Each structure stands twice: as C-alpha cells, then as structure tokens.
Chains A and B, each alone.
Chain A
C-alpha cells in the first residue's frame, strides 16, 4: 500500500511539473506581450516595464525564477492589476468557488445515488424510465443553457430567487447560492444517477445479496447495509473526472450568475491577456485535479479488496 502511494506520488509530481512547464512556455510563445498598447510606447519605458517584471532576463532564467517562486507559494504579480499579486486574486475568489463546488458535489452525490438506486430497484418501471430520461436530458443540456434559463425563469419571471450576484454586505447567502449550485450539480446528478443505476443493478443480482435475503434480512437492510456499500464503488472512481467537470463548469456558472469566484477572474484575465493570472489558475486547477484523482484512486484501492497494488 505504501509503495503504491509512493509510486502514484512519483507520477503526480512530474505531471504537475509538465503542466507548469507547458503553460509557461506557451505564454512565452505569445506574439506580442501583455504591455502592447494601441499607442507605441517609448522604447525606454517599455524596457523599464519589462525589467520590472523580470522579462528582460533570458527565458530559462525566467522559468527557473517562476519555479522558485512557486516553491515559496509566490505566483508572481498580476500584469493588469498593479497593486495585486496572482495569489491575492486567487485567494479572493477561492472561498466562493470552493463553496459552490463542494455544495454541488455533495448535492450531486446525494440526489444522484438516491435516484440511481430507485431506478435500479424499480427497473423497467415508469420511475426507472423517468430517472433515465432525466439523466439523458441532464447530460445533454449544457450549463450555459441551463444557467441563463433558470435565472430568467426562477429569478426574473417568477421572482422567487435573486437572478445573480452576491450581496456585498452579506456575502454568500443561501438564496443566492441555490441557482448556481443547482445548475452546476445538474449534469453531475445525471451522470452519477446513471453510474449508480448500472452498478446497483449488477450488485442486486449477485449471490451475496441473495444470501442476505435468504437469511431473512429485511429489504431495506439488505439494500442499505450490503448493496449500497459495493454499489458506490464506481462513484468513488468518478470523483476525479467529476472534479474536472465541476472546475470547468464553475467558470460558466460564475459568469452566468456574476459570482466573484476564480472562474470569473480566470475568464476576465484570459480576455485581458493577464498571463500570470491565467497561468496561476491553470496550475492551481491542474494540481487540484491531479490530487483529487490520486485521492480517488487511493480511496478506491482502500475500499475495494480486489484491487492489487501493481
């Protein structure tokens, strides 16, 4: 087990390093720097600015400086906000994005596994078809359609909930989080209920479930204590892809509902060619996804005695 963890970490570290390197050199390949304005700048001023950001150094030196900064947790200064570091921008947005992401995955896991189990236990009934149909719709309709439609119908026409934004005095309140979290969770609910349905159908046909019933356990006890346990295993290995989908989805959600999270800052930075912010966010997201994939694999290995550590 320990050897397995060590091996996985040995792969994860270079992967993160590759992400950093590729992102860094892609940025440096850019034709035209971030300080190119419409008006031509006097050569001396341009050189001074480049020197202030360390861009007059050779590229390999800049790369090593950037890596050294990363080790210290320094992602460099923002190129567009003169008084902010990339780390400031990320830490401002992080609480909002993390709250939405965690609430969404929790909601998706709960609703998805319940819906999937119901569909599996009532296979080929109208309940089952309802869940499968809902899952198909949830997978096909993208968040950038669901988000605006929900905010238009529930927020503006019905007026039940605020259609977007956060109250600057109150911050994140429940009423302002419901729509974004629901929108972000919808595709995940769909995927998780499909996964759950498939694995539950397989589990309840297995011999040990028949044994559990034969020894006289009640229906719910068999499902909850025996079937659920092994049926959720595929969900564990879905944690990694789900995290990636949530991070990507949150970019759209924050845009649609004007929430001040990392995703919104990322898009703003991308449109403004604020390279250091874009890179910082990509590195953060890539590390998060790689870490969550690792955790999911370890969890899977810990829960499933059949896994061999090779």
Chain B
C-alpha cells in the first residue's frame, strides 16, 4: 500500500508519522527526568547560576568594598558577613559569587570556542573523507600528545594575563575530542540505513540534514559540551591558582582558593567556601553530563 505513494507524498507521510510519534528528544527528556541526581543537579546549578549573575546586584556588600575594621572575620550574621571576610576585609560571600560568575563565564565561553573549532574541524574531515580526513585526524592525534596547558601558560606569560586570551586559549585546547566525536558521527551517519532510506524515499537534502543528521550529531555533542564545561572551569582555576589566570580586581574561584590556601591557618573559611562552591558546581555539571549521556544514548548503559 505504501508503494502506491509518489515519493513526495511518501516523505510527507514519514514527516507526519514522525511528528505524531514520540521523538528521540521526548524519550531522552523523559529518561533524564527520571534520573534523580541529574534533576537535583539541574536545580542546584540553576540556583548557583542565579546567585552568580543576579546575586552580586542584590547583595548588601560590594565584592570590591574594603572594610578596614573587619579583616578576616569568621562567618557571622553581624553585617551579613555570612561567609566571613578576607585578609583585606572584603565580604567573602560577595567575592565567592563574583568568582563563581567568572568561572561559569569562562566555562561557557571557552567551551563555545572549543565547540566551534571542534565541530568545524570534525565535520569537514568526516564530510570530505579520504586523504584530507586522514591528514586532519593525524594532526589531531599529534596534538593529543602535547601538554597543551603549558602552551596556555606560555601564552599568558608572553601576552600578559588578558581575560579574552584566557577564554580563547583554554577553548583552543579542548576541541580535540569534540572534533573526533563529530567526525565519527558524520562518517557513520553518512552510510546509515535510515539516511539511505530517507534518500530513497525522496526526502530533500535539507530535510535529511534537519531530521536525521543534526539530531543524531547533536546528542553526543550536547553531552560532550556538558562534560567539557567543568574541565574548562578546572583549567582556568588551575591557571588562576598559580597566579597565571584572571587578575585582580577580577577574580575567579581559582583565585579565591589560592588566596584561601595562603591564609588557611588563620582564616580557614576563606579556603572552605570558594572550594565548596567550586566542588558543588563541578559535581552538578558532571551529574548532568552523565545523566544526559544515559538519556540520549541508552545503549551505552
């Protein structure tokens, strides 16, 4: 009965039945929402993001304001120094929020940089195939073996600790795995039966890309993006901890942890709160990433 349809009618039929059925993403969303750790992480991360971006505007203390008479006060309700104050007499709660904001910004921007480079590189290699693909992936293999963080450090040393440079440099380090994933997906999808079936059914090139290629590449990419953000946050904090990252008056969680580690014998709260905030953030991203992976690719469990 299907064989009596003309190709264009048939593709319409495919289109309709796909819309009526449960899509890949509905399924994935349902599985994700059943994952308690991932849902809890999303809620906590939502609160953290809100606090980091809106909190500094509402909080009673400015992150840079110095109270000379309130140096290294332990956490107290007096004057709302709930996280205490640091060695300069600045409110630790305000500073932790601002530091978290910087870390999240670096995480998102640097991951976006790595996403762009990785997708373009991987898709080009996978799409062109043959010799070009071989050379491009050989380059990725070689770069994999290099200690990239050292090149980021050289960049920081040579060009000064510029915030934009940190974003781009860290992003430029983390694109290799992304390129591999995208290339692998592109190659395997090109020869997939359902893509051939869609072609045979007369679906247009644009429709194939929209309905079949993009959703299938998107899954692993989204998962990997969620798992790259914490890695990038860690890389920035590593640099800042060594004094090679974000510079005063800007601050990040890595900076705060470094200062806290310096003062920890007399003021352990200056280490505890930034460290706890960072760990909470990293846990959230990891649980969400794992949950997404299980949800999007159930056969991997």
Which residue numbers of A lie inside 8 Å of B, CB to CB?
11, 15, 18-19, 22-23, 26-27, 29-31, 136, 139-142, 144-145, 147-149, 152, 156, 240, 244, 247-248, 251-252, 255-256, 266-267, 270-271, 273, 275, 278-279, 281-282, 285-286, 289-290, 293
Which residue numbers of B lie inside 8 Å of A, CB to CB?
142, 145-147, 149-151, 153-159, 230, 234, 237-238, 241-244, 254, 257-258, 260-261, 264-265, 268, 271, 275, 278-279, 282-283, 286
The answer, among B261, B268, B278, for a CB contact under 8 Å with A256, is B261
Q: Which residues of B contact A136 (CB under 8 A)?
A: 286
Q: Which residues of B contact A293 (CB under 8 A)?
A: 145
A229 to B275, CA, bound (A): 40
Q: Is the beta-carbon distance between A144 and B282 smaller than 8 angstroms?
A: no
Closest 6 CB pairs of A and B: A148-B261, A30-B158, A144-B241, A282-B150, A145-B275, A140-B282
Q: Which residues of A contact B146 (CB under 8 A)?
A: 15, 19, 286, 289-290
**By DSSP majority rule, is chain A's interface helix, strand, loop, or mixed?**
helix
A289 to B234, CA, bound (A): 21
Q: Is the beta-carbon distance between A286 and B147 smaller than 8 angstroms?
A: yes
The answer, among A26, A141, A273, A290, for a CB contact under 8 Å with B145, is A290
Q: Which residues of B contact A278 (CB under 8 A)?
A: 153-154, 157
B144 to chain A, nearest CB (A): 8
Contacts A/B (CB < 8 Å), 10 sampled: A140-B282, A142-B234, A142-B237, A144-B258, A145-B257, A148-B275, A255-B241, A266-B153, A267-B243, A275-B157
The answer, among A26, A148, A248, for a CB contact under 8 Å with B155, is A26
A22 to B154, CA, bound (A): 10
A144 to chain B, nearest CB (A): 4
Q: Is the beta-carbon distance between B260 and A251 smaller than 8 angstroms?
A: no
Number of A-B contacts (CB under 8 A): 106
B269 to chain A, nearest CB (A): 12
- Beta-carbon nearest neighbor of B254 in chain A: A144
Q: Is the beta-carbon distance between A27 and B154 smaller than 8 angstroms?
A: yes
A124 to chain B, nearest CB (A): 13
Q: Which residues of B contact A256 (CB under 8 A)?
A: 261
- Beta-carbon nearest neighbor of A139 in chain B: B286
A244 to B237, CA, bound (A): 18
Q: Is the beta-carbon distance between A144 and B237 smaller than 8 angstroms?
A: yes
A61 to B237, CA, bound (A): 38
Q: Which residues of B contact A247 (CB under 8 A)?
A: 147
Q: Which residues of A contact B230 (CB under 8 A)?
A: 140
Q: Is the beta-carbon distance between A145 and B279 smaller than 8 angstroms?
A: yes
Q: Is the beta-carbon distance between A152 and B264 smaller than 8 angstroms?
A: yes
Q: Which residues of B contact A27 (CB under 8 A)?
A: 154, 158
A255 to B242, CA, bound (A): 8
Q: Which residues of B contact A30 (CB under 8 A)?
A: 157-159
Q: Is the beta-carbon distance between B147 and A282 smaller than 8 angstroms?
A: yes
Q: Which residues of A contact B241 (CB under 8 A)?
A: 144, 252, 255
Q: Which residues of A contact B154 (CB under 8 A)?
A: 23, 26-27, 278-279, 282
Most buried by A among B150, B153, B157, B286: B150
A289 to B241, CA, bound (A): 23
A252 to B149, CA, bound (A): 13
Q: Which residues of A contact B264 (CB under 8 A)?
A: 148, 152
Q: Is the beta-carbon distance between A31 and B237 smaller than 8 angstroms?
A: no
Q: A31-B159, A144-B238, A275-B157 are in contact. List 13 more A-B contacts (CB 8 A).
A: A15-B145, A141-B279, A144-B261, A147-B261, A152-B265, A240-B145, A244-B147, A251-B242, A252-B238, A255-B242, A286-B146, A289-B145, A293-B145
